[in-house]
Structure 1
């Protein structure tokens, strides 16, 4: 498990001087770290330095640095700015999945989702599984929401899981 080291000044009245005390906190203890990592990834992909990136988003560099370092929580306006300036999907920024930035699209690719749902329905039928419409949609969405380029792998994994479910091997 990776550790993040935070330095906090010891109160002057306790020691008579300003010493630094190290406090180790696991990554799991800071819910801002995934968001900070995704911000840093988009910035790196954009080719901008921190000051340029912050300026383009309309925030002071010091404020942006706090977000990228997972020290402060960004405002909701950051989501709008990331979508406006870089085309980044706000849902991906908040919760992923994955490290590859997902672009915000104004329209849903219903044809692709329907195609995935049909592939899953055909596979389930072939192996003797009967799935409800809701189950089909949930499975298709799980594959649909994978990182770009990972759809084939996710679909293959889904088919293996369905096969295992049908044979009782799970």
Structure 2
């Protein structure tokens, strides 16, 4: 059985969902309007080529996959992303934030997890311990 080919809009939506962003926040990150995101995801308009560069720069997404991919799993420009490790880091960040009493901010949690992932860290107790100490120090600053 052949897989259903996905549209550019469906792939953009997959990137947005993977980043944990609402349409408005995704639009802001890309420097466009929310209505543009709605139009692109809905297939009533195609994104300009400049958006591909922003997706690559801000979300590490392979522009070729956005234009010609056949599935809705975002491809990293540097190679396949380890989404299980990334999701584990997001879960670690959220757990540590709860532990230290920081406000639930999913977009910031994803951004922090992305920084940890880009630094080559894996989810786990050692990283959670270091992250907890760092966030505790940061939360005490006024």
Calculate the TM-score normalised by the size of structure 2.
0.50
Instruction: Give the structure with the higher percent strand.
Output: 1
TM-score by length of 1: 0.42
Relative contact order (C-alpha < 8 Å, sep 6+): which is higher? Answer: 2
Find the structure with the greater CA-based Rg: 1
Which structure dedicates a bigger proportion of its chain to helix? 2
